[in-house]
Amino acid sequence: MEMTESRRLPNNVHGKYYTIEECDGCAYCAMIAPENFDFHKETNTYFVSKQPATPEEEELMQQVIEDCPIDAVRTDVQYLELERSSE
């Protein structure tokens, strides 16, 4: 599968963490880190509405990355690794 920047949902705020188009709107991320995720009703997806600003928020973000059922929360580092592995 080709990994392109277009898979990053457009509503994500600029920054290191983001969600991708595969998000199915399960709401787990917003339950764990409500300060950092918001819902986009039209597409039934969640997006990063605020990048983590404290160690606590960073920790919650890492938990969401590990536990998102379809791996739809990414960091730039993961994005680059996946892009490399798909070449």
Q: Work out how close the CB of 45 gets to ligand SF4 at its nearest, in angstroms, rounded to a whole number.
A: 6
Cβ proximity to ligand SF4: between 27 and 53 the closer is: 27
Cβ proximity to ligand SF4: between 37 and 85 the closer is: 37
Q: Work out how close the CB of 11 gets to ligand SF4 at its nearest, in angstroms, rounded to a whole number.
A: 12
| Separation of alpha carbons 41 and 61, rounded Å | 22
Contacts to ligand SF4 by CB under 6 A: 19, 23-29, 46, 68-70, 72-73
Q: What is the three-class DSSP state of 40?
A: strand
Residue 22 to residues 2, 53, 59: CA-CA distances in angstroms? Answer: 14, 26, 23
Residue 10 to residues 45, 66, 67: CA-CA distances in angstroms? Answer: 11, 22, 22
Cβ proximity to ligand SF4: between 77 and 87 the closer is: 77
